[in-house]
Structure 1
Amino acid sequence: MNAFHFRAAALLFAAPLLAGTARAENLTIGLSAPVTSIDPHFANAAPNSAFARHIFDPLTVRAPDGRPMPNLATEWTALSDTQWEFKLRPGVKWHDGQDFTAADVIFSYERAPKVPNSPASFSTSLRTVTKVEAPDPLTLHITTSAPTPNLPIDLGAIAIVSRHAGENATTADYNSGKAAIGTGPYRLLSYSSGSSIEVARNEQYWGEKQSWERVNFRIIPNPGARTAALLSGDVDLIAAPPATDLPRLRGEASIRIFERQGSRALFLSPDFSRTGSAPFITDNDGRPLPKNPLLDLRVRQALSIAINRQGLAERVQQGMAEPTGQWMPPGAFGYNKDVGVPAYDVAKARALLAEAGYPQGFRITLHASNDRYPADAQTAQAVAQMWSRIGVGTTVEALPFATYLTRLAKQEYSMVQNSWGSTTGEAGSVLLNIVHSFDAAKRLGASNDTRFSNPELDARIAEALSTMEPAEREKLVAAAVAESVRELALIPMVMFKNAWAARRPLTYEPRMDEWTLAMGVGRP
């Protein structure tokens, strides 16, 4: 019997809200990236998951500093290395008044890995779950195929949807509002893809009553337009104020800035799925190369050290990012202090290309989003210029995130600029979702869209994340991080800092996970 036992008081988890305000008020938030679906199981993408938190609840949540907290589950216990017991919160009602029970959790865990056409599955969070049983309506017993010490954290990624509303429901039914019946603090009123979402306060919410009667989320991917909307008073708070506007915003008496170091890394992912010619890679005369050059570690090393990460952080990201050689900030679980920032070295990069058989370089297209991350298209353009200096002529194709993600899931690219926010607060999230070999049956590598595969590293990842003793687990996770970086399964570039700007007197509790939540907006 494992001694690990977590017991939390049945605290209501809610971020600071308007204090002492009797009147109902409305709030307008300007989001920096689109919410591609209201279906909380459709795409494991931060904008979708953050918005889903308003409508749906998971068993556990993360506090702004990343700590796990109780939510629909009030306490949990490891009965053994492979069995957990979760006690569910009593008295919770769905938006339509029906009772929340363990049957809804079981339904949600069966549904989440099987959503049709999902471009980024949540299946990895349930990878070891083999059986979910309900001894009574407010108790769950979850059996896993291997020790899974992070299970309570992993389950925080899976929103719980109602069985009675969700049975036979499609993603379109959630987008229309028909199936969007949750237990969360707000109810869905309307959803216009890529434009706006409106929600209303859930008067029967089990937690602290929300002060906002209605919240309107406006999708404003253009950074300048976001700033203009805030300054004009069209919105009350914006996510990701552009770094170039921060000095001006700090000087505005009517504006306040809220910041926190984030857990999102921006990186490049080379294609590993093709041994022969690869799309968007040619010789300097435009002819397809007979083999995929990205499979050669020396080529990946050359591309990595040709990137001036400090320049990206200081000039392109305007100081709102830090150069990195891994995907977690210092102090995070699994951060490896021995993995430094790769030195920028054009001469060595050219030598590595020549050694790999490409003394004249080649041509490549770098695909990126243009509306998802801070300065995403600009960063891709800067990388393209850096690669041109070592003879790799690079064209950038920057796309709207929804289109980019759909094509990425189909392995249509050869080199992508991608990102991952480790909302679990530890390095294992990237190891499981992106570094581990893709295996749909085992629910592993769900976001490994470029199909890196190393069976020996897979085994080390499995060992690390099934080790129950925390200190030993962290040691093994850090070692797997180092091996991933040596292999350049992905090429980390910068770690983002998170920022929000609000009109006074509003406040916002900044979050490590970058989520923008109405529940975090308050007034002194």
Structure 2
Amino acid sequence: MAKSKLVFLLFLAVIFVFTMSSCAQAPTSTTSPSQVPTSSASPTPTPTSKPENVMAVNEYPVIQMDPSLACDFYDAEVMFNLYDALTYPTPDGDVEPHLATEWTSPDGKDWTFKLRKGVKFHDGTELTSEDVVFSFERMKTMNQGYSGFFQTVEKVEAPDPYTVIFHQIEPNVILPNQLALLMIMNKNLVMKNIKTPGDYGDLGDYGSAWLQFHDAGSGPYKAVEYKPNEGLTTERFLDYWMGWENWKSNTVPIDKGIFRETVDPAALKTMLANRQHDFTDWYQTDEFYDSVSKIPGVEIVEMPMGVIYTFWINTSRAPTDDIHFRKAILWAFDYKSLTESVRGAKQQAGPMPSIMWGHDPNVFQYSQNLDKAKEELVQSAYAGQKVDLELWYCVGNPIEEKFALLLQQNLEPLGINVKVTAAQWPQFQQAVSKPETTPNISCFMFTASYPSPDFFLTYMYHPNNVNNGVYAGHWYKDEELGKLIDQSRATLDKNARLEIYKQIQAKIMDDALAFYTVEVPAIHAKQVYIEGPQKSYVGIGPELNLRNFQIDLNKKAEILAKP
């Protein structure tokens, strides 16, 4: 297990911005726009104009176009449009062949991937194993973005143009799943655009400055222009290796994609009404969705994404250091009321989303039972005492606020006083940096970065990774749990691994480490002439691959013709 300690340090960089985006205001870019043309915003169409084949989306506090620096869910969405990886996520949280047609490993340690022939980059050159090696080495050298997920990889070699071998320092059968985040770059194109001097010796800036405004990918869409603080415009790559077809007689692929940076909700509503915007982010309030759903031609869609709201219980701090006390407060909470108050939600069952393969449908679930709560409280070291609990959540997250106030109400009859703090992200991050300062209960909203149950188990519960209260605010280190997780990572047989995952989930629930509250879909407002998504995914990235959508131009023309 000692070798696995390497993973967590760089994992923090991967998930940091995702958590921050749920807790704080988004940053803005300060990059000079001098290299790019004017705004990508679409003009308001007139009833007589020919409908434009375009889909405009907004998710993005700031757009990162460099695959070696991308580290957030909105970064991943851009990556899945501009680039391809060896593997591709499946709707149930696994992977399927993509640039790699097959992969094998005798022991889970060394993996051989066979590449698809004839894949073209956007400049027309062929993608080969040399590009795969380059992409991995660049990410490893830059030591940012998703590099933390690849710390078990020692080296990568390319014995021929269509074969790649990944050598690891220890067995890790999850590598093919993690490689869904390694976007393959055009080596020659990047090397032609290196600036010197830079942070990487003879490699100068490794092409970073150029990649802020251009792509070096083979994905279904190619970058046309990026204007900081406004957005990225893309166009369909007609020679994409997967080809293009119409889903229906009246729909066609999206020709032009606009990825807008942060848009004010009031402005977004106006843009939807004026048909200047087509698909919204999923962070809006219920009031926003209720309001825009009344706009003719706008509808609300729910995309299952496996977003879960977990509230850690600090096991290192009184009174939640007592397992009977933890179980008492878990039995006291009204899960049903919270679930019913959240649009599209269902009660979360265990430490991973129910829509992901590997989830145990029979995993133990708490429900409100005050008699059981009192029984557990009597067995605790704090029986008969009036105790205080500290609960922190992040400002601006309505679901977390609902949980906090409801728990406060539920525990009052048991003589437990819950002190609720709504914290800004920097304050929250500082508080949970140590077990002694982490509140008794703290929030964490997340979904998978790479498609595997391993993401939810290894990085939140392996004892070697319990080093930061944002991601493991339970501060609970269990060596037996660590051994089970290590065993799962070394088990090639998927069915055998599933049985280990069930054991892990059961143990986590038995240790009473968190409130597993609600699992929610990603909720978007969209124009009715946008067809899709064709598929929904657990985790980040592929759900907003514009190839997952098409447009009905006849329906758009009808809507534009209405006064």
- With normalisation by structure 1, the TM-score equals 0.75
> Residue 192 of structure 1: which of 218, 228, 234 is its match?
228
Q: Does residue 310 of structure 2 align to residue 267 of structure 1?
A: yes
Using the TM superposition, name which of 146-155 and 475-484 deviates more. Answer: 146-155
Residue 250 to residue 427, structure 1, CA distance change in 2 (3 Å): same
CA RMSD of aligned residues (A): 4.0
Report how far residue 237 of structure 1 moved: 1.4
Cα pair 2:92 2:356 within 8 Å, conserved? no
> Residue 314 of structure 1: which of 323, 332, 340 is its match?
340
Query: What are the equivalent positions in structure 2 for 1:58-457 lying under 5 Å apart?
Result: 58-64=85-91, 66=93, 68-79=95-106, 81-95=108-122, 99-112=126-139, 115=142, 121-124=146-149, 126-163=150-187, 165=190, 168-169=204-205, 173=209, 176-177=212-213, 180-188=215-223, 189-190=225-226, 192=228, 196-202=231-237, 205-208=240-243, 211-220=253-262, 226-240=268-282, 242-244=285-287, 253-271=296-314, 293-315=319-341, 317-318=342-343, 320-330=344-354, 332-345=356-369, 349=373, 355-357=380-382, 359-368=385-394, 370=396, 375-379=398-402, 381-382=404-405, 385-386=408-409, 389=412, 390-399=416-425, 413-414=438-439, 415-422=441-448, 426-438=452-464, 448=472, 451-457=475-481
Query: Hey, what does 1:469 align to over in structure 2?
Result: 493
- Which blocks of at least 5 consecutive residues in structure 1 are unaligned? 1-21, 276-290
Report how far residue 306 of structure 1 moved: 4.1
Aligned to 1:391, the other structure's residue is in SS state: strand
Deviations 1:263-295 (A, max 9, x none): 2211113456xx6xxxxxxxxxxxxxxx56444
Aligned to 2:114, the other structure's residue is in SS state: strand
Cα pair 1:129 1:143 within 8 Å, conserved? yes
Residue 42 to residue 269, structure 1, CA distance change in 2 (3 Å): farther
Report how far residue 348 of structure 1 moved: 5.6
Residue 141 to residue 34, structure 1, CA distance change in 2 (3 Å): same
Residue 226 to residue 383, structure 1, CA distance change in 2 (3 Å): farther
State the aligned residue count: 470
Aligned to 1:512, the other structure's residue is in SS state: coil
1: CA distance, partners of 2:430 / 2:232: 25
Report how far residue 380 of structure 1 moved: 5.1
Matched residue type, 2:520? F
Cα pair 2:94 2:357 within 8 Å, conserved? no
Matched residue type, 1:85? T
Aligned to 2:257, the other structure's residue is in SS state: strand
2: CA distance, partners of 1:177 / 1:351: 61
Matched residue type, 2:212? S
Question: Which has more radius of gyration?
Answer: 2
2: CA distance, partners of 1:362 / 1:445: 20
> Residue 484 of structure 1: which of 487, 490, 508 is its match?
508
Report how far residue 134 of structure 1 moved: 0.9
Report how far residue 44 of structure 1 moved: 4.4
Matched residue type, 1:156? A
Report how far residue 87 of structure 1 moved: 1.5
Deviations 1:212-238 (A, max 9, x none): 443222345766765554234231112
Deviations 1:136-183 (A, max 9, x none): 1221122345554443223113223444538554797477336x4322
2: CA distance, partners of 1:483 / 1:253: 50
> Residue 81 of structure 2: which of 51, 54, 64 is its match?
54
2: CA distance, partners of 1:309 / 1:44: 32
Using the TM superposition, name which of 51-60 and 216-225 deviates more. Answer: 216-225
Residue 113 to residue 347, structure 1, CA distance change in 2 (3 Å): farther
Matched residue type, 1:519? R
Cα pair 2:392 2:428 within 8 Å, conserved? no
- With normalisation by structure 2, the TM-score equals 0.70
Report how far residue 61 of structure 1 moved: 0.9
2: CA distance, partners of 1:117 / 1:163: 18
Residue 486 to residue 76, structure 1, CA distance change in 2 (3 Å): same
> Residue 460 of structure 1: which of 472, 481, 484 is its match?
484
Report how far residue 95 of structure 1 moved: 4.2
Cα pair 2:109 2:172 within 8 Å, conserved? yes
Over the matched positions of the two proteins, sequence identity in percent amounts to 21
Query: Hey, what does 1:493 align to over in structure 2?
Result: 517
Matched residue type, 1:25? N
Query: Hey, what does 2:559 align to over in structure 1?
Result: none
Residue 444 to residue 385, structure 1, CA distance change in 2 (3 Å): closer
Residue 333 to residue 211, structure 1, CA distance change in 2 (3 Å): closer
If each structure's helix is expressed as a fraction of its own residues, which one has the higher value? 2
Report how far residue 246 of structure 1 moved: 5.2
2: CA distance, partners of 1:343 / 1:314: 14
Aligned to 2:272, the other structure's residue is in SS state: helix
Report how far residue 64 of structure 1 moved: 4.4
Aligned to 2:482, the other structure's residue is in SS state: helix
Aligned to 1:237, the other structure's residue is in SS state: coil
1: CA distance, partners of 2:301 / 2:242: 25
Aligned to 2:544, the other structure's residue is in SS state: coil
Query: Hey, what does 1:17 align to over in structure 2?
Result: none
Deviations 1:10-69 (A, max 9, x none): xxxxxxxxxxxx9973321133x6356444444643222222212222111124455633
Report how far residue 397 of structure 1 moved: 1.5
> Residue 523 of structure 1: which of 523, 530, 551 is its match?
551
Deviations 1:366-409 (A, max 9, x none): 132637xxx4454454456447633121112254xxx6897699
Query: Hey, what does 1:6 align to over in structure 2?
Result: none
Residue 200 to residue 480, structure 1, CA distance change in 2 (3 Å): same
- Which blocks of at least 5 consecutive residues in structure 2 are unaligned? 1-49, 192-202, 245-251, 553-563
Report how far residue 430 of structure 1 moved: 0.6
Cα pair 1:421 1:513 within 8 Å, conserved? yes
1: CA distance, partners of 2:334 / 2:78: 34
Cα pair 2:88 2:95 within 8 Å, conserved? yes
Residue 168 to residue 362, structure 1, CA distance change in 2 (3 Å): farther
Report how far residue 351 of structure 1 moved: 7.1
Residue 444 to residue 251, structure 1, CA distance change in 2 (3 Å): closer
